[in-house]
Chains A and B, each alone.
Chain A
Amino acid sequence: MCLAVPGRLMSMAGEPPSPRLGRVDFGGVVKEVSLDFVPEARVGEYVLVHVGFALSVIDESEARNVFELLREMGELLESEVGPAQGVSREIQG
């Protein structure tokens, strides 16, 4: 479950005990979101939003690691099996 979507924090408002709100840009669509659970979030960072609440700040360096790993994996695979062949298309039904 849990549809949570990443977006860029553009601005923040409100100090506790008032709710902390932020405007988050999801690739062109901007929504006001609660920042109550991410006190460490800073403008410009990306947050993950679920039902109107930011649940975490996305760690960009970790995000990059995934692709580092993939790149290494790619080199390893090529050295073992040669360049990738064409994609085989599978029809379901």
Chain B
Amino acid sequence: MKFRDEYRDPASVHRLAEAIAQTAKRPWTLMEVCGGQTHAIVRFGIDRLLPPDVSLVHGPGCPVCVTPVEFVDKAIEIAARPGVTLCSFGDMLRVPGTQTDLLGARAKGADVRFVYSPLDALALARAEPERHVVFFAVGFETTAPANAMAVYRARREGIRNFSMLASHVLVPPALCALLDSPTNRVQGFLAAGHVCTVMGYEEYEPIANRYGVPIVVTGFEPVDILEGVYMCVAQLEQGRSEVENQYCRAVLREGNRPAQEIIRDVFRIVPRRWRGMGEIAQSGLGLSDAYLDFDAETRFGKVEPAVEQDSECISGLILRGERKPSECPAFGTRCTPERPLGVTMVSGEGACAAYYRYRRARVAAAVDG
């Protein structure tokens, strides 16, 4: 597959790993902020190719993981209503709410369907005018243009049986929140390549300056990730803190203007609570005033913040990169993908699930029922 296979070439991968080992003279801690990068790193064992001094931690890069529990509960509540169909990306269906998840709700009779694209949800609304279709819109900025387009088209076509439960999150405010934390150890970032395909990377420049951290816009294949690490380590060794673009085949500094326009039209910036991190100002997207007739919260009731449950789950620390999954006492024993204690184990892109799937050794031969 072109633009994929060549970025998985073992010779190139090893060459980059070698270059990183040669360049890193001191210990460095880098963070990647993208579930897709977490997935690739753990699947290909990329962090195992790095010299021991270069530590790559996984940040809050999984929008599924950071969706507040109250939004999941709201989606479940909406789905249970008669005459309503709740459409969602597959990723969200097993994320636990307070009592159950969307698949559990489906088992009890709620009409929950997964879709590949928000346009599929819109098509459903067109095809079944007697039902009200709600689309559960999660994601980073990457997915925002597609979700915005679904609403925009609904308005153009006069489709009235369609609304959106918007729970989008934005990356730059989260980076600032991480960097503001007194316990932050992260010294450089790999910025999520596809987020930057949409938004560009101008908005990361003030962050790099203010906090003195290098930020490298990075792609998702092994060669991309290693090159991003290499560029970041090189900056750190040279005492630079700039924004660089590793993923230049897909990212321009100004990003994708038509996509940004539609985001600006359909959405507005709102405060957002991040599961495991609390509220971060101006870090979410909700529907703009002009499109409130498509807002599921307006139609079905506002989402109220839930009390974060006390449990031994440390997904907050994991999302902030302060602990690795293997450092959690419950990892792989009391907390597994079948019985997750928290979100980083449920979502396929959560750091804990990725570690579990690809990395943990079986602790005992006994299979627990």
Do the two chains touch directly in the complex (Cβ atoms below 8 Å apart)? yes
- Chain A facing B: main interface SS: mixed
Within 8 A of B (CB), among A1-40: 1-6, 8, 17, 19, 26-27, 34, 36-39
Q: How far is the CB of B41 from chain A (nearest CB, A)?
A: 13
Question: In the complex the two chains form, what is the Cα distance from A48 to B2 in whole Å?
Answer: 12
Report if A44 contacts B (CB, 8 A): no
Whether A67 pairs with B146 at a CB distance below 8 angstroms is: no
Whether A73 pairs with B142 at a CB distance below 8 angstroms is: no
Whether B145 pairs with A53 at a CB distance below 8 angstroms is: yes
Question: In the complex the two chains form, what is the Cα distance from A66 to B249 in whole Å?
Answer: 9
Report if B1 contacts A (CB, 8 A): yes
Whether A62 pairs with B1 at a CB distance below 8 angstroms is: no
Taking CB atoms, residues of chain A closer than 8 Å to B224 are 66
Report if B4 contacts A (CB, 8 A): yes
Whether A1 pairs with B62 at a CB distance below 8 angstroms is: yes
Whether A1 pairs with B145 at a CB distance below 8 angstroms is: no
Mask: chain B, 138-155; 1 = CB below 8 Å from A; 0 = not: 011011011001000100
Chain A residue at minimal CB-CB distance from B120: A52
Taking CB atoms, residues of chain B closer than 8 Å to A59 are 248-250
Within 8 A of A (CB), among B81-127: 89, 116-120
Whether B117 pairs with A51 at a CB distance below 8 angstroms is: yes
Whether B15 pairs with A1 at a CB distance below 8 angstroms is: no
Taking CB atoms, residues of chain B closer than 8 Å to A19 are 153
Question: In the complex the two chains form, what is the Cα distance from A87 to B359 in whole Å?
Answer: 20
Contact check: which of B3, B64, B117 meets A63 at CB < 8 Å? B3
Q: How far is the CB of B228 from chain A (nearest CB, A)?
A: 11
**Interface size bracket, B side:** 35 or more
Within 8 A of A (CB), among B3-34: 3-4, 6-7, 10, 12, 14-16, 18-19, 22, 34
Q: How far is the CB of B155 from chain A (nearest CB, A)?
A: 12
Contact check: which of A2, A27, A58 meets B1 at CB < 8 Å? A27
Chain B residue at minimal CB-CB distance from A52: B117
Report if A77 contacts B (CB, 8 A): yes
Contact check: which of A26, A34, A51, A69 meets B116 at CB < 8 Å? A51
Within 8 A of B (CB), among A51-76: 51-53, 55-56, 58-60, 62-63, 65-67, 69-70, 73-74
Question: In the complex the two chains form, what is the Cα distance from A80 to B19 in whole Å?
Answer: 11
Decide yes or no: A37 and B258 within 8 Å by CB, A6-B3, A92-B48 being known contacts. Answer: yes
Whether A92 pairs with B359 at a CB distance below 8 angstroms is: yes
Mask: chain B, 168-200; 1 = CB below 8 Å from A; 0 = not: 000000000000000000000000111101100
Taking CB atoms, residues of chain B closer than 8 Å to A55 are 142, 145, 194, 197-198, 256, 259
Within 8 A of A (CB), among B47-97: 48, 61-64, 89
Question: In the complex the two chains form, what is the Cα distance from A87 to B192 in whole Å?
Answer: 29
Question: In the complex the two chains form, what is the Cα distance from A8 to B3 in whole Å?
Answer: 10
Taking CB atoms, residues of chain B closer than 8 Å to A84 are 14-15, 18
User: 24 interchain pairs (CB within 8 A)?
Assistant: A1-B36, A1-B192, A1-B194, A2-B139, A2-B143, A5-B4, A17-B156, A37-B145, A39-B258, A46-B2, A50-B143, A52-B120, A55-B145, A55-B197, A55-B198, A58-B249, A66-B224, A66-B227, A70-B15, A73-B15, A73-B19, A77-B22, A92-B359, A92-B361
Chain B residues in the interface with A (C-beta under 8 A):
1-4, 6-7, 10, 12, 14-16, 18-19, 22, 34-36, 45, 48, 61-64, 89, 116-120, 139-140, 142-143, 145-146, 149, 153, 156, 192-195, 197-198, 223-224, 227, 248-252, 256, 258-259, 262, 349, 359, 361
